[in-house]
Chain A
Amino acid sequence: MTGNYFKVEFRLLVRQKGYTLLNVAGLMLGIAVFVFIYLFVESEVRYDRYWACHEQIYRITNEYSLDGKSEKIALTPFRLAQDLRTEFTGVEESTNLFFTDPADENDVSTVIYNGEVFEIPDISLADGSFFNIFDYPFLEGNADSALEKPNSIVINLATARKIFGNQSAMGKNLRTNLREYTVTGVIDKSTKPSHLNFDAIVSVSSLNDRESTALAHDYFWMTCYTYVKLNDTVDPADFEYRFNEFERRGEAAFIQEEKLNVVGSMQYFFENVSMVHFNSGLMYDSPTNVDVDNLYVFAIIALFILLTASINYINLATARSLKRSREIGMRKVLGAGTRQLAVQYIVESLIITIIAFVLALSLVEWLMPQFNLLVGKKLSLIDSLVSGGNYFFGIALLVLILLLSVIGGSFPAFVLNSFKPAHVLRGTSYTAGRFGKQQVTAGIMRHFLVIIQYVVSIGMIMATLIIYAQISFLKHHELGFDEENVFVINVPRDTLFRKQIRKTMEILKHHPAVLEVSGTQNVPGYTEGKMLFQVGDTNVNPVQTINYFGVGYRFFKLLNIPLVEGRYFHDEPGDDTATSFILNEAAVAFLNLDTAVGTPFNFAGAKGGKIVGVVRNFNSSSLHRDVDPVVFMLVPRMARYFMVKAVPDRLDEAESHIRQVWSGIPSAGSLHIISLESKISGLYSGDKKMLNLFFYFSLFVVFISSLGLYGLSSFLIQQRTREIGIRRVLGGSEKQLITMLSMGYLKLVFLSGLIATPIVYLLMKKWLDGFAYHISIHAGFFIGSILLALLLAFLTVLLRSVKVVKEHPASALKVQ
């Protein structure tokens, strides 16, 4: 019997090509987007879950408060790992990983092998325990000894390939500007997705004694991430409490010993390593971390898209039941039971779902490279389906097929099973009797489902518009400095090059297309970090943490940052270095200074410095944050970037000049140049990615919904062909009839817009609150989105209604 169902349904689907195509296309798109989002979310959830006993591994984070202001930070003092190892029971291993600057993709280290310069983006430091906790597979060398000896370096496979090709890396020497390292291991990072941010790790024993002692002693120098693997019998909450108690005693002793005037406290938290990836609230955290809210949003969107696609199927199937009523009536007469008929619909639904699934998976595989580009990942459908031990995805897909088939099949079954064979065979009207009532119920249900679809679609359009408006607002926001016509060049860390920084800058400036050149430790938008400062030459005033910003000569002039009072740093070498400070207005307000210029001001514990100038506030960090208090110091020799301001309209000339200068300096390595505007817009790459995803998702949702509306409306309009004929005969004009046919759907779409408005308003307001500078949500976004949806819905319905309305009334009246 089941074979018969398959045969009949196949014939039916082949005969009703339009219906099959609409159903399959909608479902296929829905499933494809769902699978994309599933793979994306799954790849995020997998972070840091591959470590042996990952549930026993914790990262220690830190919340410190000074003078009533608190900051959460992922970095900790170096000494914690040692304390854990020696002072506590229940610790299996503990280790550090040093901070490398993850915010800056342009910042790279260079190594020299065989006289050739290679770039390694992030070189970090760790001790021998690191690979005991994080059990990366070693392709060369071994985990136990790799980071034991000084001047050892373990490199990632990709880095090894880049430098050594297919040759063995073991024992080879790599020289950086400071030391020569021997490769003691090659690991494959790609097998264990993790928040750990490094391309190579140098043994911490490579640090000299002075560095090691200073690091081991300090309680407030936040330089590295600390990880601990606890014994499985240890209660982490209890351990965290004891650890904080212990550290607090140490800090108190340290403050006394160093004679620091600190009003504040430190609190450490133990967070399981598998949760790190979802923590986006800490300073100096891994660049790969994600906002868990975004993942929830994507997961919800995935479900909605699937729901939208299923609704199409259900709506089309129940609408089509009108057409099939005669066939079903005949089957009932011939003895088919309710259950048999239900099985028949489910078989039909199953066939459509399976076809849609096969096509969707092919589509996913086909579009995967583009999707990977969009989300910046290396996802693979095949890997997820067949990779060892990961049966979950396959099982999930099977469950999904069954679920969609049963849901898609049961609704029509409910509608079709409700009518009496005699009625339909006699050709009694669809609106008569119990069948009529069920049809009315089914109609109401279809309306309800269409509303759900359009609430989602319009909501997505609204959200996309608001995100777009916010991002273009950020783009055009006045930052308080001239970011135009400025190139930013990375200064190599090579010691040879550093010796000729001044000379290089002079050569760079010597060109008619170049207006000004300055060095800087950091680029506006990317804050350097915080340091401890004190007002006064004594230890009376409490220590404050304030953002510091190391600049070179002529920094403020180059960026045209106005002076409020006092003076800029002197242009030429003088005594401004380390003793003169320039504050921004926010820092003056933060320190409560009545007269800033001339006030003694120092690094915590130092003497002899003073404030020489105050500059206008400018956005020195991303516009997610308000203007922070900033202290500027003159550090011309520590420049990490050159900024070159070009004459407007002579940018190309200036750039080729820079390239020419660079190629003439052997120690300069390859040139990393980017315009300041692009560099600043890089701050919002996460937001832009979000915008892109929203844009594509809303495109899909709107398309699937339109597909559904087209199918449904064309079906129901076809049902009304005769009525339309009668109305034509009675004098209804084409315009009147098209309006009549579309109005019902437009009302539904409008209602959906009204429902979506407050929901989107609340959600987007929450998102915008994450920006210190943001647009205000106005009615235009909602009205615009609703109008757009109405227009799309109208055009969709128009496609079909025009055809029916244009038909000669005489032939329309023949339709029974």
Chain B
Amino acid sequence: MNIIETKGLEKIFQAESVETIALRNINFDVKEGDFVAVMGPSGCGKTTLLNILGMIDSWNSGSYMLLGHDIAKLKEKQRTNLRKNHIGFVFQNFNLIEELTVYENIELPLQYLGWKKKERHQRVTELLEKMKIAHRGNLFPLQLSGGQQQRVAVARAVVANPPLILADEPTGNLDSQHGEEVMNLLDTLNKEGTTIIMVTHSQRDASYSRRIVHLFDGQIINENLNKLH
């Protein structure tokens, strides 16, 4: 079953009098449990596509169905609800909130979902242990190494058990050892049933995926199954 379907998706950036077409005619489907890597050179529109899929950016034309919902027809509040219940995000620069502790960062999505304090505590503690950062729960993000920060970000992305994870260059700011740790985490999640769409530059990271989509100048030029998988 497709959880994502886009048809003729187009995104145009308008800056002063200059118009830049970031995405054109994107027809893109993702099946439940899939692990898709989106690759391409800088500025080809990878992150823009991911942001649109995550409903944190708008598009100009074309349609986008997520989990059977026609996103264009949803109000902002409905999009927020859909997002917080079904999508987890992992960013290259982690995007942790510096003023919150590790524990509080991971807890945040659950707060927005209205979980009770006790349930939140149980879930966050469980996840901290699973991610091997239990002893760092009270530290602030800036007191951690990059790898540890990204593990916190992944923990935050999966804390509410979302069926879909969108990862934007999750290892881009990490050394190879820490990068591998994060990719193993994502791989495990995928094996447990989570659908993952990952934007990356790295062939090695892409090798974890089941399918690779190549973007160039805002268009999908090539799509193939990962033979290594």
Contact = CB atoms under 8 A, between A and B. Distances in A.
Contacts of A732: 80, 108, 112
B89 A810 contact: no
Interface stretch (B91-99, B128-136, B169-177, B208-216): B91-99
A810 B51 contact: yes
Nearest to B48: A810
B51 to A, nearest CB: 4
B7 to A, nearest CB: 21
Interface in A701-733: 722-723, 725-733
Interface stretch (B33-41, B53-61, B65-73, B195-203): B53-61
Interface string A356-382: 000000000000000000000000000
A303 to B, nearest CB: 36
Given A432-B142, A733-B80, A733-B112, A728 B97 contact: no
Contacts of A734: 76-77, 80
A432 B89 CA distance: 26
B91 A813 contact: yes
Interface string A732-756: 1110100000000000000000000
16 contacts: A429-B142, A723-B98, A725-B56, A726-B96, A726-B97, A728-B80, A729-B89, A730-B89, A730-B156, A731-B81, A731-B83, A731-B113, A732-B80, A810-B51, A810-B56, A813-B95
Interface string A653-673: 000000000000000000000
B89 to A, nearest CB: 5
Given A432-B142, A810-B51, A731 B97 contact: no
Contact of B57 (A429, A432, A727, A810): A810
B84 interface: yes
Contacts of A728: 56, 80
B108 A730 contact: yes
Contact of B54 (A729, A736, A811): A729
B84 A809 contact: no
A730 B88 CA distance: 7
Contacts of B147: none
Interface residues of B, number: 26
B179 interface: no
B134 to A, nearest CB: 21
Interface in B113-148: 113, 142
Contacts of B113: 731
Contacts of B76: 734
Contacts of A727: 97, 108, 112
Interface of A: 429, 431-432, 722-723, 725-734, 736, 808-811, 813
Contacts of A431: 98-99, 142
A734 B89 CA distance: 19
Given A431-B142, A734-B76, A736-B112, A729 B56 contact: yes
Closest A-B pairs by Cβ, 8 of them: A731-B84, A810-B57, A809-B56, A731-B112, A810-B51, A730-B109, A810-B56, A726-B95
Nearest to B51: A810
Nearest to B50: A810
Given A431-B98, A431-B99, A731 B56 contact: no
Contact of B99 (A723, A731, A810): A723
A389 to B, nearest CB: 59
Contacts of B109: 730-731
Contacts of B48: 810
Interface of B is mostly: helix
Contacts of A723: 97-99
Most buried by B among A729, A809, A810: A729
A781 B63 CA distance: 56
A526 to B, nearest CB: 66
A810 B46 CA distance: 13
Given A729-B83, A734-B76, 8 more contacts: A723-B98, A730-B84, A730-B109, A730-B112, A731-B109, A808-B57, A809-B57, A813-B91
Contacts of B54: 729
Contacts of B98: 429, 431, 723
Contacts of B97: 723, 726-727
A731 B77 CA distance: 10
Contact of B95 (A429, A729, A808, A811): A729
A730 B100 CA distance: 14
A808 B51 CA distance: 10
A732 B80 CA distance: 7
Contacts of B57: 808-811
Contacts, number: 63
A327 B166 CA distance: 36
B182 to A, nearest CB: 18
Nearest to A809: B56
Nearest to B86: A731
Contacts of B56: 725, 728-729, 808-810, 813
A357 B83 CA distance: 52
B142 to A, nearest CB: 6
A306 B51 CA distance: 48
Most buried by B among A432, A722, A736, A809: A809
A731 B114 CA distance: 11
Nearest to A728: B56
Nearest to A431: B98
Most buried by A among B58, B84, B91: B84
A723 B94 CA distance: 12
A638 B84 CA distance: 89
Nearest to A735: B77
A728 B84 CA distance: 9
A626 to B, nearest CB: 61
Contacts of A813: 56, 91, 95
A811 B99 CA distance: 21
B109 to A, nearest CB: 5
A725 B96 CA distance: 11
A317 B76 CA distance: 36
Most buried by B among A429, A722, A728, A811: A728
A732 B84 CA distance: 8
A813 B156 CA distance: 17
A485 to B, nearest CB: 61
Contacts of B85: 731
Nearest to B47: A810
Nearest to A731: B84
A418 B57 CA distance: 39
A808 to B, nearest CB: 5
A809 B84 CA distance: 13
Contacts of A733: 77, 80, 112
A736 B113 CA distance: 11
Contacts of B156: 730
A437 to B, nearest CB: 13
A330 to B, nearest CB: 23
Nearest to A722: B95
A463 to B, nearest CB: 38
B9 to A, nearest CB: 15
A803 to B, nearest CB: 15
A808 B98 CA distance: 21
A728 B76 CA distance: 11
Contacts of B108: 727, 730, 732
Interface string B173-200: 0000000000000000000000000000
Nearest to B141: A429
A808 B112 contact: no
Nearest to B95: A726
A726 B108 CA distance: 10
A726 B96 CA distance: 8
A728 B51 CA distance: 12
A805 to B, nearest CB: 10
Given A431-B98, A808-B57, A808-B58, A731 B80 contact: yes
A727 B109 CA distance: 8
Nearest to B109: A730
A808 B48 CA distance: 12
Contacts of A808: 56-58
Nearest to A726: B95
